[in-house]
Homo-oligomer: A and B are copies of this chain.
Amino acid sequence: MTDLVLSLDVTERASALRIARACAEDVDAIKVGYPLVLGAGLGIARDLADLGIPLIADFKVADIPNTNTLICDQVFAAGFSAVIAQAFPGPDSVVACVESAHTHGGECYVVAEMSHPGALTFFSEGVPEAICRLVVETGADGIIAPATRPARIRALRDLIGERKILSPGVGAQGGDPAEVAPLVDGMIVGRAIYGAADPAAAARVYAPYRR
């Protein structure tokens, strides 16, 4: 199964709801980040969850274990189905997110690699591979790895077994859905859908790559 995940990177409640409603039939999940939650309040999650689409909190959670627990408990209480955490604070911080997720029947994904230019400073020299091992050890549900580097997705897949891969960067950032969809469990499309004049029509361009 490859899901189509809409990255809803807008900051205003009204546009978020308008775009989400328009695309609801053609996407499998919606990813929401802090810019929208800070602008619209955490309550936006309940409004979006009412559309019946699973919600992913892309909060790149990156604090000490106790704070991560407090953040994730609020994430799942608000109606999210999954959370995205950073691995760099270490295994105990990731475990805090995983335990909160699983207690609430949700999932926790960990960023294994990022695709912006500066990411290579620290996400290099075996670090993504170490993160994949940490994902297996902590019982996390999968990784985030960029659609712009399919060869890296293949390499990391070998390290995580049956766990899932969600992949941002399809569309505006250059990731090719035809190439990436067979490699991942979720292809994440942002600007190419939410920035389109007709987001529903744009979502339908990517929907055929769902499996």
Contacts and interface: CB of A to CB of B under 8 A. Distances in A.
Interface of A: 9, 11, 33-35, 37-39, 41-42, 59-60, 62-65, 67, 70-71, 74-75, 78, 86-94, 114, 116-123, 127, 130, 134
Given A86-B86, A114-B89, A38 B42 contact: yes
A78 B42 CA distance: 16
Contacts of A11: 70, 74
Given A62-B60, A121-B134, A134-B121, A116 B92 contact: yes
Contacts of A90: 114, 116-123
A3 B117 CA distance: 36
B71 A34 contact: yes
A-B residue pairs, 4 tightest by C-beta: A90-B118, A92-B118, A35-B70, A62-B62
Nearest to A131: B122
Contacts of A67: 9, 33-35
Contacts of A65: 116, 118
A199 B2 CA distance: 52
Contact of A116 (B71, B93, B116, B122): B93
B39 A41 contact: no
Contacts of A88: 62, 86, 88, 122-123
Contacts of A35: 67, 70-71, 74
A35 B59 CA distance: 12
Contacts of A33: 63, 67
